[in-house]
Amino acid sequence: MPPKPQPIPITDGCSNASRKEDEFVHQVYNHIAPHFSNTRYKAWPVVENFLHQQPSGSLGADVGCGNGKYMGVDSRLALLGSDRSSELASITYQRGFEVMVADNQSLAYRSQLFDFAISIAVIHHFATEERRIAALQEIVRVVKPQGKILIFVWALEQRGKRKFDQAHQDFMVPWVIPANTTAGGSQPHSADTAPPQEDESERVFHRYYHLFKEGELESLVERSNLSHCVEITEHGYDRDNWYIVLTKT
């Protein structure tokens, strides 16, 4: 086995933010969607508990729903999903869930509609703080007063398989589709991905991430001018992620 490719810090995290997200988030997820989806089936307990705590009959938004793995977790609830990756949205749709392609920064929902919202591993894909703030504000917009919002983002301090240079926060994180993977997705068609490694059929894609430091999610809420309309009612660390629960006031 070749060594696992490690995350590469980048120093121009903020430049060409929208192009970076398009090339290193949207397009990459479209390429890796089937393989990514096959690895995403286990619900994280914090998310599962959050869903089970919502009153029966609640309507939720899953913003950045990926393959829709949380959408069927609790049959007492109805979730509407959205994802920026059309391929992931299409997988979610094929599983029978309600989903649309949408950028988190401009959701196509009426305001103050949802009883709750979840944003699981999404906001770390925005390449500037301004865009992360826009994403957060937009989620808050569509949730009704007293509604709860759960947000998970990758932690810089994580001690798992991947090693992140603690001096940086913006990284290209490799996604490897091993050789002979049947559900490997479409072939990359441009120079937006690393060339194939020794084994011709192994493919490596790089996803852009902004890794969050402890307390950064809380300060993002503050800097979003949301302090007058949301309260942080829970926060913690779970499975390499920082998370917060916001309650809209």
Partner 1 sequence: MRLLTHNMLQCHVKTCTDPALNFPLQLKDIELEQVETDRNDDLLLNLLQKVDWNALKATVVELGVVDFPQEIPENPQNDESFMQKFHEILMEVSPYDYN
Q: Of the candidates 76, 163, 227, 234, which one interacts with partner 1 according to CB under 8 A?
A: 76
The count of chain residues that interact with partner 1, using the rule CB under 8 A, is 21
Q: Does 73 bind partner 1 (CB under 8 A)?
A: no
Q: Does 58 bind partner 1 (CB under 8 A)?
A: yes
Q: Does 57 bind partner 1 (CB under 8 A)?
A: yes
Distances (CA, A) of 139 to 104, 121, 172, 220: 8, 14, 26, 13
The greatest distance separating any two alpha carbons of the chain, rounded to the nearest whole angstrom, comes to: 55
Separation between Cα atoms, residue 130 and residue 228, nearest integer Å: 19
Nearest to 95, CA basis, from 25, 30, 41: 41
DSSP 26: I
**What is the pairing mode between strands 78-83 and 59-63?**
parallel
Q: Of the candidates 3, 41, 42, 55, which one interacts with partner 1 according to CB under 8 A?
A: 55
Pick the closer one to partner 1 by CB: 99 or 244. Answer: 99
- Close Cβ partners of 79 (under 8 Å, ≥ 6 residues apart): 59, 60, 61, 62, 65, 70, 71, 97, 98
By CB under 8 A, what part of segment 98-157 binds partner 1? 98, 100, 102, 106-110, 113, 115
Query: Which stretch in 36-44, 70-78, 163-171, 194-202 sits in contact with partner 1 by CB under 8 A?
Result: 70-78
Distances (CA, A) of 239 to 108, 152, 202, 230: 31, 10, 27, 25
Query: Which stretch in 94-102, 165-173, 197-205, 218-226 sits in contact with partner 1 by CB under 8 A?
Result: 94-102
Q: How far is the CB of 58 from partner 1 (least distance, A)?
A: 7
Q: Does 78 bind partner 1 (CB under 8 A)?
A: yes
The C-alpha angle with vertex 227 and arms to 225 and 231, in degrees rounded to 5, equals: 145
Q: Does 193 bind partner 1 (CB under 8 A)?
A: no
Residues lying near partner 1 in the complex (CB under 8 A): 55-59, 75-78, 80, 96, 98, 100, 102, 106-110, 113, 115
